[in-house]
């Protein structure tokens, strides 16, 4: 009996390195699958690869996620309009509706989010107000729903960086880099050409049906206007967001160009006698902004603004943008960011939106 026990002990000792090696290998694999991500508020998160289920916090994040990780989205912030669905997979509208997670328009359906159980919620956009307050709000939200909420800063200028950050988080660096390069090229082109402008064109921009609510200078929502080297006639002293403006004030500003998102507003401005004394109206420089699937300037202020750079630059400063093939850029943009191949006829229809 002692002899048998001795033999068993020898065998076990011989096999122990194999078992210990196996355990070490399992621990190593676990560690390799775990990574740390620090968001743009300095908050550190630990995730396991691969992240397979994601949710957007709002429309800006939703649009960017459409372009890089649509297959991993388990819900949407808002349903797409019929106009937008022409360019995107209609199955998107079949996803659960979460609402907006954060901000003054927040209408979060927490039950729907918890039921969908995303690995991460991605919040993107500008840092409004006190950074510490935003951090506290997002941390509180994360604790309440039990899902990490990651913030990635995304202004027009750093769109490329935002894509690269997303690529890092979602392990989709190659897809992110293609979009980052396109965005970077458009933004750098605008910066180069803007430096050649001596007398900026003065623009009034409104997205409201009556043309009397406008975006002020320096607003997150009007970045394209200033990016191409135009002057927004609405001063920064007006608060951010839509500001009610009197027609008398617009007459005093006397803009060179009026940009409008709403067709009804266009009809008012171009036909109402009260507007006829304004320089932009007298010189037929009132323009409707292309808005399929989204406005080229705003609403939401997301990746749609990248093609807006080329469109507005070519419209306002044709001599500076004479080497830009706008139709080619539109086809490339729609293919890359919306997954849609524009025809020549569709490009023409998008560009000729004036009644």
> What is the per-residue pLDDT for 226?
96
Same domain, 72 and 105: yes
Confidence check: pLDDT of 13 > 50: no
Do 241 and 277 lie in one domain? The reply is yes
In a shared domain, residues 202 and 345 = yes
Q: Do residue 205 and residue 340 come from a single domain?
A: yes
What CATH number does the domain containing 160 carry? Answer: 3.40.50.1980
Whether residue 264 lies inside any domain: the answer is yes
pLDDT at 320: 97
99 lies in a domain?
Answer: yes
Return the pLDDT at 129.
74
How many whole angstroms separate alpha carbon 330 and alpha carbon 311?
Answer: 9
Q: pLDDT digit string (tens) for 22-74?
A: 433 332 334 568 899 999 999 999 998 889 999 999 999 999 999 999 999 99
Same domain, 309 and 336: yes
- Give mean pLDDT, residues 83-94: 90
CA 132, 133, 137, 143: dihedral to nearest 10 degrees?
40
CA atoms of 260 and 21, how far apart (whole Å): 68
What is the band of 105 on the pLDDT scale with cuts at 50, 70, 90? confident
Residue 150 inside a domain? The answer is yes
Q: Does residue 338 belong to any structural domain of this protein?
A: yes
How many domains are contained in the chain?
A: 2
Q: Which of 183, 217, 237 is the last residue in one of the domains?
A: 183
Verify cis geometry, omega within 30 degrees of 0, for the bond prior to 50. yes
Do 211 and 327 sit in the same domain of this protein? Answer: yes
| The two three-digit tokens of residue 227, written as one number | 């990016």
| Res 32: pLDDT | 62
* Residue carrying the six token digits 């950074």: 131
- Tokens coding 155: 């202004």
Q: Is residue 28 part of a domain?
A: no
62 and 125 fall within a common domain: yes
Sign, CA torsion 216/222/225/228: positive
Cβ-Cβ contacts under 8 Å for 145 (sequence gap 6 or more): 110, 113, 114
Cα 15 from Cα 245, distance rounded (Å) = 82
Single pTM value for the model? 0.86
Residues 78 and 176 in one domain: yes
Task: Name the domain boundary from 151, 183, 215.
Answer: 183
341 assigned to some structural domain = yes
| Token representation of residue 300 | 């939401």
Q: Residue 348: beta bridge partners?
A: none
**What pLDDT is attached to residue 101?**
83
Instruction: Give pLDDT tens digits for 246-256.
Output: 999 999 999 99
Listed residues 158, 183, 208: the one ending a domain? 183
The answer to whether residue 238 sits within a structural domain is yes
Residue 193: what pLDDT? 98
Residue 270 domain boundaries:
198-351
Q: Which are the contacts of 162, defined by CB distance < 8 A and separation ≥ 6?
A: 64, 124, 152, 153, 154
Is residue 189 within 8 A of residue 309, CB to CB? The reply is: yes
Q: In what order do the strands lie in the sheet with 120-125?
A: 54-56, 120-125, 149-153
Rounded to an integer, what distance in angstroms lies between the CA atom of residue 144 and that of residue 172?
29
Report pLDDT digits (tens) over 170-227: 999 999 999 999 999 999 999 999 999 999 999 999 999 999 999 899 888 899 999 9
DSSP assignment of 34-58 equals EEEEE-TTS-EEEEESPP--EEESS
pLDDT range class, residue 355, cuts 50, 70, 90: confident
d(CA 116, CA 96): 8
Distance CA 333, CA 339 (A): 9
Q: Are 207 and 175 contained in the same domain?
A: no
Residue 241 pLDDT: 52
Separation of alpha carbons 196 and 321, rounded Å: 11
Which whole-number Å values give the CA distances from 90 to 54, 71, 93, 116, 155, in the listed order?
19, 13, 6, 19, 28
Whether residues 67 and 117 fall in one domain: yes
Residues 134 and 51 in one domain: yes
**∠ Cα 299 305 307 (to 5°):** 130
Strand-strand pairing, 120-125 and 149-153: parallel
Same domain membership, residue 170 and residue 219: no
Burial 165-174 (b: 16+ CB within 10 A, else e): bbbebbebee
pLDDT at residue 269 in the model: 97
Model confidence at 242: pLDDT above 80: no
The reply to whether 49 falls in a domain is yes
């Amino acid at each position: 009996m002692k002899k048998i026990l001795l033999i068993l002990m020898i065998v076990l000792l011989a096999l122990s390195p194999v078992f210990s090696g196996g355990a070490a290998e399992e621990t190593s694999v676990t560690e390799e699958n775990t990574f740390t991500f620090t968001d743009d508020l300095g908050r550190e998160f630990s995730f396991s690869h691969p992240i397979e289920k994601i949710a957007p916090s709002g429309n800006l994040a939703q649009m960017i996620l459409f372009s890089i990780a649509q297959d991993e989205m388990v819900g949407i912030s808002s349903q797409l309009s019929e106009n937008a669905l022409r360019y995107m997979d209609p199955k998107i509208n079949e996803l659960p509706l979460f609402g907006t997670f954060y901000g003054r328009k927040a209408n979060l359906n927490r039950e729907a989010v918890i039921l969908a159980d995303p690995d991460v919620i991605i919040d993107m956009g500008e840092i409004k107000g006190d950074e510490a307050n935003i951090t506290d709000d997002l941390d509180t939200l994360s604790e309440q729903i039990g899902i990490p909420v990651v913030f990635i800063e995304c202004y027009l200028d750093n769109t490329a960086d935002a894509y690269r950050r997303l690529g890092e988080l979602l392990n989709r660096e190659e897809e992110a880099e293609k979009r980052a390069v396109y965005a970077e090229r458009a933004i750098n082109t605008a910066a180069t050409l803007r430096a050649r402008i001596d007398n900026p064109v003065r623009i009034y921009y409104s997205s409201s049906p009556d043309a009397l609510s406008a975006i002020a200078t320096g607003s997150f929502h009007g970045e394209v206007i200033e990016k191409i080297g135009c002057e927004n006639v609405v001063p920064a002293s007006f608060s951010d967001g839509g500001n009610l403006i009197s027609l008398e004030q617009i007459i005093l500003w006397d803009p060179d160009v009026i940009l409008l998102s709403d067709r009804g507003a266009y009809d008012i401005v171009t036909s109402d006698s009260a507007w006829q004394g304004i320089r932009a109206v007298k010189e037929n420089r009132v323009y409707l902004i292309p808005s399929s699937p989204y406005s080229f300037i705003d609403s939401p202020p997301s990746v749609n603004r990248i093609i807006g750079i080329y469109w507005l630059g070519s419209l306002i400063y044709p001599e500076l943008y004479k080497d830009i093939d706008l139709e080619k850029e539109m086809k490339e943009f729609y293919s890359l960011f919306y997954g849609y191949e524009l025809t020549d006829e569709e490009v023409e229809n998008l560009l000729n939106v004036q009644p």
